[in-house]
Amino acid sequence: MRPSVFLQAALLITILFAPVLLLAETVSKVANFSEGDLADWEEKSFEGNSQYRFVDAQTAGINSPNIKDKQQVLHASTQGQASGLFKEVNIDLTKTPYLNWSWQVQNLFKGNDEHSKNGDDYPARIYVVVSGGIFFWNTKAINYVWSSNQSAGSEWPNAFTGNAKMLAVRSGEEQLGQWITERRNVREDLKKFFGEDVKKIDAIAVMVDGDNTGQSATAYFGDIFFSD
| pLDDT at 203 > cutoff 70 | yes
Whole-number pLDDT of residue 70: 84
Q: What's the CA gap between 141 and 132, in Å, rounded?
A: 10
Single-letter residue type at 66: N
Whole-number pLDDT of residue 7: 32
pLDDT in tens, 79-101: 999 999 999 999 999 999 999 99
pLDDT in tens, 66-78: 888 889 999 999 9
pLDDT in tens, 1-59: 444 433 343 333 333 334 433 446 799 999 999 999 999 999 999 999 999 999 999 88
Three-point CA angle 219, 225, 228, nearest 5°: 135
Q: What is the 3-state secondary structure (H, E, C) of 81-111?
A: CEEEEEEEEEEECCCCCEEEEEEEECCCCCC
Whole-number pLDDT of residue 24: 60
Q: What phi and psi values does residue 183 have, to the nearest 5 degrees?
A: -150, 125
Whole-number pLDDT of residue 212: 96
Whole-number pLDDT of residue 213: 97
Contact 82, 211 (CB under 8 A): yes
Q: Which class is domain 25-227?
A: mainly beta
| pLDDT at 209 > cutoff 50 | yes
Contact 209, 50 (CB under 8 A): yes
Whole-number pLDDT of residue 9: 38
